[in-house]
Structure 1
């Protein structure tokens, strides 16, 4: 009896792995599910049969490509069965709140973004987010009672054991559990993660790293963070602190960082710091958007500052690549669109990483831009409610 119960629990865990992957990445072949979950071909075939029989997934009319460019008949794809109701994604950044409402297939039906300083008061920011969810549900034509789950990101690491913000990165959120607080306001399950992790989920499922299994997503914006995908699964670490690239110490006696340490990489390459370096050389207020326009126009000063930032990021990233040996590094965030920054990251990785590691690596811009985190939040909500 005990052995049977243990086997059934294992089988249920494996079923969730398949449905979670399909929720994040959309239709996939059975071979793709084998690679993405790490399960055996026999196990995947059996579980897919069970899930089709139970109505959780369906075979689609579409076919994929033969694996590795083969010339055989393309494989049939399977996908989650479209179910009733909707989900919401909430992206809370240091200076904005973005909300998207989507159907159970992940198609965004309505979206809204407002500019707001969320750092000083977490409770007020969550009040605002809850009001936005109700408003965007109305825009999407989804009744509030049909909302199944909410995925949510915050620009700080969350302690996996307590689900609380434990660092000083968000001063007005310390000891707040964002998921619990938003759940209390909305009355539906809420699942929270940090912005870089959800950006990684989005770019692997729908963006520049689609189909890759070992990925580092680097978000360069008001802060600096990384989301790490290993073997097709997000790696959060024991307490949820994996990927805090911005808090690698690069200057022993450097500027005090908002995390409480000194000389963190983030103090050199955050958007506010780079704009502050550039501002004295330009008339009028300089913004990230304006700086990127100047770069496109060939401005030497902007290119130099962004290249210096990319070199610093790439130097720290090279050590991480040596340890993880990823196939893709995706550069996202508000500064991820900068060719100068991205090219400097590539050169630094080539110089400081092991040659074989660097040669196997692609450094690419994110395809989802500023929407990566909210797309990842929608994927998280769909994956959780499906599981």
Structure 2
């Protein structure tokens, strides 16, 4: 029904405003309009409703006029928060990182361990729960004040079943990660995949801040993307939006873990690039060594990274033309490579619609391999803000 749809849209808009305030702290109404992609009139109406309901307050502080103007400094609004903190859990293919932060995303404690998470879903979640408790203790935060846990997993989450894509994490069959971790820690848990959380982190705190339409690309051992459209994360009807790692990049290419051949992930992942370079540069070459050689201008490394960047740029050009983002943020462990990012820029310019390419920046992410952890904290903070 139309009325129901409008109510859903307003509820979504209210959550977008509280999420921005929860992750980025006090902001002016103009800041909220820029960050959310909503009109200033809509933001003003939403803020008024939140003020009336006691969910936000106007602070005594004032911001700075937009673009350094000389007008009166704007009033800032902030969430009306009760004391407490949140935990962020980043489960990667080979690691688990946990951080506990306050409501402004200031990290109070952080712990990490190395493990093979892919084949052992239940055991991995057991370790994650133990690390949450360890980080909470190190942070000196009472259990009663730990409000929410944000969980990152390196696979798509089916929005219908809340389960992971078992073609990516075969040892997580029939597991609903948020439900399982919540049962272990006794706290509410909200979950998303690594690329989406990287997009949240870079959009709210990093290289994508102030951009309403953003494409975040994670290039690491896996390849994926997170889409921010109109200031909101776009997950798609089932949660598969942004799975560019499984877009065809080469006919009759290598077999991908998804069962197809020639996926982008088989062409540009760290595993593939290291496999290409080790016969020439030595079996001991690792990711840090690759990035160091790129920074030093090694011609072999730069040639391989440039080829990978052109391949990624060709795939991203289609997304750029279709969605017309203002910025592509290249994250993950390979996002720090100048050669790769520059080559992606060339690929987008060559294959995208000229006007779409010209209006789109291509930049390295701010957080690199920490984007997923920062995104899990941001997600937990925003959901905790909804409960305030």
What is aligned with 2:191? 192
TM-score (norm 1): 0.94
Contact 1:166 1:175 in 2 (8 A): no
SS at match of 1:277: helix
SS at match of 2:116: coil
Could you list the per-position Cα deviations for residues 309-333 of structure 1 after superposition, in whole angstroms to 9, with x for gaps in the alignment? Answer: 1111111000100001011110000
Distance in 2 (CA, whole Å) between partners of 1:8 and 1:279 is: 57
Deviation at 1:294, TM superposition (A): 1.2
Residues 217 and 4 (structure 1 numbering): CA distance in 2 closer, same or farther, change over 3 Å? Answer: closer
Most deviating of 222-231 and 34-43: 34-43
Residues 359-374 of structure 1 correspond to what in structure 2 (within 5 A)? 359-374=358-373
Deviation at 1:62, TM superposition (A): 4.2
Distance in 1 (CA, whole Å) between partners of 2:362 and 2:41 is: 35
What is aligned with 1:325? 324
TM-score (norm 2): 0.93
Deviation at 1:53, TM superposition (A): 4.8
1:292 aligns with 2:313: no
Most deviating of 232-241 and 360-369: 360-369
Contact 1:23 1:105 in 2 (8 A): yes
SS at match of 1:98: strand
Could you list the per-position Cα deviations for residues 313-365 of structure 1 after superposition, in whole angstroms to 9, with x for gaps in the alignment? Answer: 11100010000101111000011000000000001111111111111111111
Distance in 2 (CA, whole Å) between partners of 1:359 and 1:82 is: 42
Contact 2:16 2:232 in 1 (8 A): no
Distance in 1 (CA, whole Å) between partners of 2:184 and 2:317 is: 43
RMSD across aligned C-alpha pairs, in angstroms?
A: 2.2
Contact 2:150 2:376 in 1 (8 A): yes
1:230 aligns with 2:232: no
Contact 2:247 2:315 in 1 (8 A): yes
Distance in 2 (CA, whole Å) between partners of 1:122 and 1:21 is: 32
What is aligned with 1:382? 381
1:204 aligns with 2:197: no
Most deviating of 316-325 and 99-108: 99-108
1:18 aligns with 2:24: no
Distance in 2 (CA, whole Å) between partners of 1:161 and 1:45 is: 34
Most deviating of 280-289 and 69-78: 69-78
Distance in 1 (CA, whole Å) between partners of 2:375 and 2:163 is: 20
Residues 232 and 283 (structure 1 numbering): CA distance in 2 closer, same or farther, change over 3 Å? Answer: same
Residues 47-62 of structure 1 correspond to what in structure 2 (within 5 A)? 47-62=46-61
SS at match of 1:326: coil
SS at match of 2:259: coil
Residues 159-178 of structure 1 correspond to what in structure 2 (within 5 A)? 159-178=158-177
Deviation at 1:110, TM superposition (A): 0.9
What is aligned with 2:124? 125
Contact 2:215 2:227 in 1 (8 A): yes
Q: Unaligned regions of 5+ residues in structure 2, if any?
A: none
Distance in 2 (CA, whole Å) between partners of 1:266 and 1:305 is: 15
Distance in 2 (CA, whole Å) between partners of 1:39 and 1:308 is: 39
Residues 73-222 of structure 1 correspond to what in structure 2 (within 5 A)? 73-222=72-221
Residues 114 and 45 (structure 1 numbering): CA distance in 2 closer, same or farther, change over 3 Å? Answer: same
